[in-house]
Copies of this chain bind each other. A is one copy, B any other.
């Protein structure tokens, strides 16, 4: 790729790389979710941060909120066309992560001694 500085690229990578934004988008790329479903899918993510990140992603028109007035009222979040086109980049990064990222505290496979 060209190495010259590109402010659009910087904006994009820092947007998707914000804490928790990657896992939220990954879940929404797989399908529409309700707020509590997103919370349940992503371990460690708080209500407050999920709301904040969803609001940012709505402002960027990457995610949209859909309200079914019910009853019962149901609020869901889904990816927009703009967000959906992140999937190539996300798939490529997931492939890279699978190969190269080691998790702290992950144990190497135990060698089984055959008797």
Contacts and interface: CB of A to CB of B under 8 A. Distances in A.
A88 B82 contact: no
Contact of A26 (B9, B14, B23, B99): B9
Interface in A81-102: 82, 85-101
Chain A, interface SS category: helix
A23 B13 CA distance: 9
B92 A96 contact: no
Contacts of A82: 100
Contacts of A41: 3-5
Of the listed residues A4, A8, A94, the one surrounded by the most CB atoms of chain B closer than 10 A to its CB is A8
Contact of A27 (B3, B16, B19, B20): B3
A39 B12 CA distance: 20
A70 interface: no
Contact of A93 (B4, B12, B94, B101): B12
B6 A13 contact: no
